[in-house]
Amino acid sequence: MQPVTPIPELVNDLTRTEKLEVYLNRIGSSYASIGDKLGVSRSTALRMLRSAHIPTYRHRQLSSILPAELLPEAKDVPPGPKPKGVAA
């Protein structure tokens, strides 16, 4: 049996991704429709919106679709291996 997750009493108790889920349900949208607007798959849209940060150009695109407070932080991270000894 799976543990029961308590339902938050206040909206302020919800995480950013939980607030995003509520918002999408209320406007009748989905990750697939957001992906269509961005030209990416549903799974890519889902991964972007659930991550801690996204590229600034994607943040600009998404901010025209969704409220900014529901989006991950805009941050450009250089591709490739990270330098040793430096925390990300």
pTM above 0.85? no
Q: What is the pLDDT of residue 77?
A: 86
Residue 8 is assigned to a structural domain of this protein: no
Instruction: Tell me the backbone φ, ψ of residue 53, rounded to 5 degrees.
Output: -150, 155
Q: What is the pLDDT of residue 13?
A: 81
Q: What is the pLDDT of residue 1?
A: 53
User: pLDDT-based confidence at 71, cuts 50/70/90?
Assistant: very high
Looking at residue 2, what DSSP letter applies? Answer: P
Number of domains in the chain: 1
Residue 80 is assigned to a structural domain of this protein: no
Range of the domain at 50: 14-74
Residue 58 neighbours by CB distance under 10 Å = 19
Length of the chain: 88
pLDDT reading at 4 higher than 60: no
Express each pLDDT in 27-67 by its tens digit.
999 999 999 999 999 999 999 999 999 999 999 999 999 99
CA distance 55 to 64: 15
